[in-house]
Amino acid sequence: MLSVTSISKSYNNRELFNGVSFTIGMSDRIAVIGRNGTGKTTLFEIIAGNITPDSGSVSLRRDTTIGYLRQDIRASSKRTLLEDVSRSSDAINNLAHKISLLQKDLAEEKDEETVAGLLKELGELQYLYESKGGYDSEHEAKIILSGLGFAESDFGRALSEFSGGWQTRIELARLLFLNPDILLLDEPTNHLDLETQRWFESYLKRYHGAVLVTSHDRAFLNNVVRKIISIEADDVIFYHGDYDSYVLARQKDIETRQAAARRQELKIRREMRFIERFRAKATKATQVQSRIKKLGKIERITVPHSTKRIDFNFPEPPRSGHAVIELKHVAKSYGEHIVYRELNLVLERGDRAAIVGVNGAGKTTLLRMLAGVLAFETGKRVLGHNVTTAYFAQYYIESLNPRNTIIEELRSVAPDEPEQHLRGLLGAFLFSGDDVTKNISVLSGREKTRVAIARMLTRPANFLLLDEPTNHLDIPSREILTDALDAYKGTICFITHDRTLIREIANKIIEVREGLTKVFPGNYDDYLRQSEAAAAEISVTETLRDLRQSDRPPSAVKNRQRKALEGHLRNEHYRAMSPVNKRIAEIEQEVASATERIKEIEAMIADPAHYKDSQNVVAVNREYLALRERVAELTAEWDDLTAEAERIMREYRRAQEDLDSEWFGEFPSNSHS
């Protein structure tokens, strides 16, 4: 549908990318990734036709439509929410206008021949209107708006009443309603809560068109995209696969290049030693000149830049009592809006609790009450023995002194700490060498966030409360934050839309819904399984209960209800089997790759020339032994997983048999219930 050919773009003598070419097909799901400022949005603007590249071209197949979601959204319409979205299609609006005019002409026309012509034209327009979804436009708009988290009571509100984050959702709803051939989405998940993110991912998976997206949400990228375009400092990388597999492949490529570069450097040094040794010797002049020419022709192996991941032992906070904090019978309101009526919650030492729920449910209100920075009407907040708190919110970044250097900012909270210790801590957050002498005032938003978190961990409290700490952070910075929180020894309670951070850090989930909190022990995936299973169980139980308490349903209704239950069983079976099958496929792919490498090494071992480089022999032998050990481990895991797959299949078949037995048995009527 779209071809990008050899495009280049620079700003202020800084080259963003050069000679980039790729195509976008009808069903492509492509992520454009890279650090902030590398040119991701610029690439989108070029594809959308808003910016002209310095060289190269973008060609679009005839009649192909593009929908572009920018990060800066401003409300411009005076219509209500539902009107704005359902009437956002110019094609449908134009057809509706023409139909309206024809209907007025028909009402006034007396000539039968003219009426016949108008009726024929009206029929054609109405057919077009129907084929484009005109009659279902309001229904489709409601489905999209509901999926994006809007309540039915929002449909009649004016656009100007919605905040910035909701304006982004409105613009996204418009684009999804318009159903363009290519969706360009620049950070679409920034203002979506976890439930809405999951709906949006599901929608994109079945979207009939191409999707090009930039996002710092690693879980979103893994669930949606199948191709990666990575804009890096010295190259643009193309990869087929999801984000995690790209990271693994990229790291392997970097390690391979590093090893090749080391071997090349050793070879060059040997040649240089020979040249320096025999440069003045006439009998060796020919060989020296030959080797000089050979060196001149060598194409140096370049090693791509990779994000450093530095381990650092953060200072251990003082040990708290077992009970860290307790909220007892807390009530909180904003005017007439009651957020919590009778809130009771306990966090214990070692908890890493993630607060989840839809936007507006009261997550930040709960976190601020836990932090002690928000008063409530009734109830108690009880801190445990020896508990010290640190609360990170966006205004925490604003508390940094812009006149301080980075290291001075850390020294302001830890004046007695040695310089080396502070530099080591900053190194863990990718501030090294002269970076630490930069002024706070010249840092980007993500750099200030890293400094703020580093300052917090310089003298760590034993209870951290974090409100959206990943805001403004790119993927490498989020990985640094994850490493830092993983190394932290105290208790954590946090809010984030980054599911990868939740998965890697949380051991407890606090769900906030309609003024109530429910605590789920375990990680985020455990929470999803428990909450989905509970919802499905309620649905199935209510269906069977209704059937038993009513007369035997007519066959058509009964068949629909049976199909719904069968669908539930299939979905549960798929949810159980999907991760098992995915892991089995990953193992089979890794074993195949490892086996192929083992064969390559065995061929090398059989070659006498292999033993001329003793260091290489040792390295290859270690790799050979490690690969064989890895294959053995993977084979054992594969055996366990196939056994697990068989068990899940047996349970599914038993559940089907139970459903058949339950369904085709006699349902008691009301008189016998």
Span 303-321, pLDDT tens digits = 665 555 555 566 788 999 9
Return d(Cα 448, Cα 477) in angstroms, integer.
Answer: 11
Q: What is the per-residue pLDDT for 534?
A: 64
Domains 46-245 and 323-522 share a fold: yes
At the fourth CATH level, the homologous superfamily of domain 323-522 is: P-loop containing nucleotide triphosphate hydrolases (3.40.50.300)
Residue 549 near residue 672 (C-beta atoms within 8 A) = no
Q: Are 231 and 34 in contact (CB under 8 A)?
A: yes
Worst-scoring range by mean pLDDT, 187-191, 198-202, 273-277, 336-340?
Answer: 273-277
Tokens at 359, concatenated: 């936007």
Q: What percent of the chain has pLDDT over 90?
A: 21
In Å, how far are 323, 420, 459, 639 from 463, measured between CA atoms? 11, 26, 12, 43
The listed CATH number (3.30.70.2500, 3.30.70.100, 3.40.50.300, 2.60.40.1180) that belongs to domain 46-245: 3.40.50.300
Tokens of 265: 């450097």
Task: Say how far apart CA 583 and CA 586 lie, in whole Å.
Answer: 5
Compute CA 206 distance to the chain's CA centroid, rounded to the nearest angstrom: 18
Helices marked H in 372-523 = 394-398, 406-411, 419-428, 445-458, 475-487, 499-505
pLDDT band per the 50, 70, 90 thresholds, residue 96: low
Residue with the bigger pLDDT between 381 and 458: it is: 381
What is the structure's pLDDT at 380?
95
Domain extent listing, the chain: 46-245, 246-297, 323-522, 531-672
Tell me the average pLDDT across 184-193: 88
Amino acid 467: pLDDT: 92
Give 552's pLDDT tier (boundaries 50, 70, 90): very low
What pLDDT, on a 0 to 100 scale, did the predictor assign at position 659? 65
Spatial contact of 185 and 489, defined as CB atoms under 8 Å apart: no
Three-state DSSP string of 164-208: HHHHHHHHHHHHHHHCCCEEEEECCCCCCCHHHHHHHHHHHHCCC
Q: pTM of the predicted model, to two decimals?
A: 0.65
pLDDT value, residue 539: 52
Confidence band of 116 (pLDDT split at 50, 70, 90): confident
Residue 131 has pLDDT above 70, yes or no: no
Per-residue confidence (pLDDT) for residue 93, from 0 to 100: 60
- pLDDT mean across residues, the chain: 82
Per-residue pLDDT, averaged over 460-486, amounts to 85
Cα separation, 349 vs 493, whole angstroms: 11
Q: In this structure, are strands 227-231 and 236-240 parallel, antiparallel, or unpaired?
A: antiparallel
Identify which has the larger pLDDT, 47 or 261: 47
| pLDDT above 80 for 390 | yes
165-179 per-position pLDDT tens digit: 888 899 899 888 888
For residue 17, is pLDDT > 60? Answer: yes
Q: What is the pLDDT of residues 604-629, one digit of tens each?
A: 877 777 767 767 777 777 888 888 88
Residue 3 tokens, joined: 């071809």
Ranking 160-174, 290-304, 516-530 by mean pLDDT, the lowest is: 290-304
What would the mean pLDDT of 646-655 be, rounded to a whole number?
Answer: 81
